[in-house]
Amino acid sequence: MQKQILVVAMVKRTEALRMAAGLTLLDDAVNVAVCGQLGPEAEEHLEALDFADVPVEHLTVDTAAGMSALASRIATADAVYLI
């Protein structure tokens, strides 16, 4: 059975994207939620995730709607990595 893995990029965002790209080697579905801004160093990882068809969603968690969206993603995932 395929698991739903959520990677939440909060503090070390570029590292979180790198880890998410590595998780695509498994047979599980990977989703990424980015909280905050990404720098130019993240572009390479974003391209790898795009190539692997991993959805990357940018959330604004300092709003009620953004926090609600993040909570919804966490509640439906089988595994969550907060990085």
From the number of C-beta atoms within 10 Å of its C-beta (0-12, 13-18, 19+), residue 62 rates as: exposed
Which band of pLDDT confidence, cut at 50, 70 and 90, is reported for residue 1?
A: confident
pLDDT tens digits for 39-67? 999 999 999 999 999 999 999 988 999 99
Point out which residues pair with 35 in neighbouring strands: 59
> How many domains does the structure of the chain reveal?
1
What is the reported pTM?
0.92
pLDDT tens digits for 2-35? 899 999 999 999 999 999 999 999 889 999 999 9
Task: Domain of residue 67: give its range.
Answer: 4-82
Domain holding 54: CATH number?
A: 3.40.50
Count the helices and strands in the chain (H runs, E runs): 3, 4
